[in-house]
Amino acid sequence: MSNNRPELVPGPDHPITITPNAGHIVVKVGDKVVADSRNALTLQESTYPAVPYIPLADVDQSLLERTATSTYCPYKGDATYYSIPAGGEKSVDAIWVYENPRDAVAQIKDHVAFYPDRVDSIEITA
């Protein structure tokens, strides 16, 4: 990894907030519950849609398979990815995680996020 990648800090032009999500979130692929959490966080970044980040402890890790995919965000750091084999092709790289997030978003460490179109459902109830 090169060190010449930009590192940016959230601010007025690109705010990032992380707040507790009061809902009960259940993520399913087929008939399998991949995640079931009442301890998720909501990350709101600039004008992007809010993203729930679910504690890894609330995810059935036996259903996951780490992939070689990685991406970089100048605000959050390096993301690594997991697929959910039970979901077939649709669920490749369905989950991302920042294992060593930047200080500004340190709360999302050990939390994962799901692409809504790569799982069958993400249910959020009160």
> Is 14:118 a contact under the CB 8 Å cutoff?
no
For residue 50, the one-letter residue type is A
**What percentage of the chain reaches a pLDDT higher than 70?**
98
pLDDT of residue 17 exceeding 80, the answer is: yes
Confidence of residue 16 (pLDDT cuts 50, 70, 90): very high
Q: What is the pLDDT of residues 35-51, one digit of tens each?
A: 999 999 999 999 999 99
Residue 69, CA distances (Å) to 15, 72, 104, 118 in order? 26, 11, 24, 15
Q: What is the pLDDT of residues 56-70, one digit of tens each?
A: 999 999 999 999 999
What is the pTM for the complete model shown? 0.93
